[in-house]
């Protein structure tokens, strides 16, 4: 586990091993993915980025909501996870899904996107450059939603070790595990955070301010 923040090479290695069994292992969390997608309040014709889309497990819900006139852009740095997503997309014949093999920190995206989904993306949320690059490509007022695991407190505290053991398969840092959404708060207005599963998980959503991003403090 990396003490100094997320480690992309370690993530690629982790997901090389995890890709083939990922969908089966992560199926219990899919309902939360659907909840996060619902929080995006997508409309037909919208363009949405599925940040660190992995095997594309959320694609079908996004595609359904944006319709044939919309677009879903999935970005992931793991070639192994993205291969599963590509198979899935081809199998379904989704003409409006674009899959991009890149680290989200440097991904080239269309500008003016309507929404961004961060589903089970702890590493990405701990990278200031990653969050900034997504925000930079969103339109003013765009919707953002995230769900994932977190360190439980209060009644769920005894479950903390178990949550970390499970999350350890998928993250390269536990930095920010108390409040994984914190970097989003800098950009997302009125970020609403709801705890899930006795505080072992969270769902967070909100929108960018409607005024132009030039007023946001994005690094150059
Ligand atoms: C737990 S999986 C989540 C996949 C998918 N979003 C889901 O809900 O099932 C985390 C994904 O983040 C990807 N990832 C990690 N760091 C990344 C980065 N900097 N840029 C793009 N993808 C990244 C990994 O390759 C992996 O596919």
pLDDT, tens only, 105-136: 999 999 999 999 999 999 999 999 999 999 99
Predicted local confidence at residue 215, as pLDDT: 47
Report residue 95 as tokens. Answer: 């003409």
- The ligand 1 atom nearest the CA atom of 117: 6
Instruction: From 10, 21, 77, 88, give the residue whose CB has the most ligand 1 atoms within 8 Å, as the site to mutate.
Output: 77
Q: Note the maximum CA span of the chain.
A: 47
**Distance (Å, rounded) from C-alpha 162 to C-alpha 150?**
11
Selection from 27, 18, 103, 98 nearest residue 59 by Cα: 98
Residues framing ligand 1 (Cβ under 6 A)? 8, 11, 15, 26, 33, 52-54, 57-58, 75-78, 81, 103-105, 119-121, 123-124, 127, 130, 170
Dihedral (C-alpha) 129, 134, 137, 141: value to the nearest 10 degrees?
A: -120
pLDDT tier at 164, thresholds 50, 70, 90: very high
Report pLDDT digits (tens) over 172-214: 999 999 999 999 999 998 899 999 999 999 999 999 999 765 4
Predicted local confidence at residue 189, as pLDDT: 86
Average pLDDT over residues 68-81: 98
Instruction: From 31, 37, 76, 175, give the residue whose CB has the most ligand 1 atoms within 8 Å, as the site to mutate.
Output: 76
pLDDT tier at 155, thresholds 50, 70, 90: confident
Predicted local confidence at residue 154, as pLDDT: 86
**Distance (Å, rounded) from C-alpha 53 to C-alpha 77?**
9
- The ligand 1 atom nearest the CA atom of 57: 9
- Identify the three-state secondary structure at position 172: coil
Of the chain, the percentage scoring pLDDT greater than 90 comes to 88
Phi-psi map region of 57: left, alpha, beta (phi>0 left; psi -120 to 50 alpha)? alpha
Distance 15 CA to ligand 1 centre (A): 9
3-state SS of 117-160? Answer: EEECCHHHHCCHHHHHHHHHCEEEEEEEEEEEECCCCHHHHHHH
Report pLDDT digits (tens) over 79-97: 999 999 999 999 999 999 9
This prediction has a pTM of 0.95
- The ligand 1 atom nearest the CA atom of 130: 19
Q: What is the C-alpha radius of gyration for the chain, rounded to an integer number of angstroms?
A: 16
Residue bearing the bigger pLDDT, 100 or 214: 100
């Amino acid at each position: 586990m990396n003490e100094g923040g997320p480690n992309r090479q370690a993530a690629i290695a982790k997901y090389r091993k995890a890709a083939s069994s990922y969908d089966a292992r992560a199926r219990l969390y899919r309902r939360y993915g659907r909840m996060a997608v619902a929080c995006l309040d997508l409309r037909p014709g919208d363009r949405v980025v599925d940040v660190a889309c992995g095997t594309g497990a959320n694609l079908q819900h996004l595609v359904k909501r944006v319709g044939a006139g919309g677009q879903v852009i999935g970005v992931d740095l793991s070639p192994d996870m993205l291969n599963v997503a590509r198979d899935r997309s081809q199998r379904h014949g989704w003409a409006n899904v674009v899959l991009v093999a890149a680290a989200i920190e440097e991904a080239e995206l269309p500008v003016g996107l309507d929404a961004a989904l961060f589903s089970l993306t702890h590493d990405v949320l701990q990278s200031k450059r990653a969050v900034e690059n997504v925000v930079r490509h969103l339109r003013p007022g765009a919707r953002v939603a995230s769900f994932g695991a977190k360190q439980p407190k209060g009644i769920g505290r005894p479950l903390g070790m178990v949550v970390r053991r499970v999350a350890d398969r998928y993250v390269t840092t536990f930095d920010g595990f108390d409040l994984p959404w914190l970097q989003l708060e800098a950009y997302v207005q009125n970020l609403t955070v709801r705890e899930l599963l006795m505080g072992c998980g969270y769902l967070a959503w909100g929108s960018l301010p409607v005024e132009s991003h030039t007023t946001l403090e994005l690094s150059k």
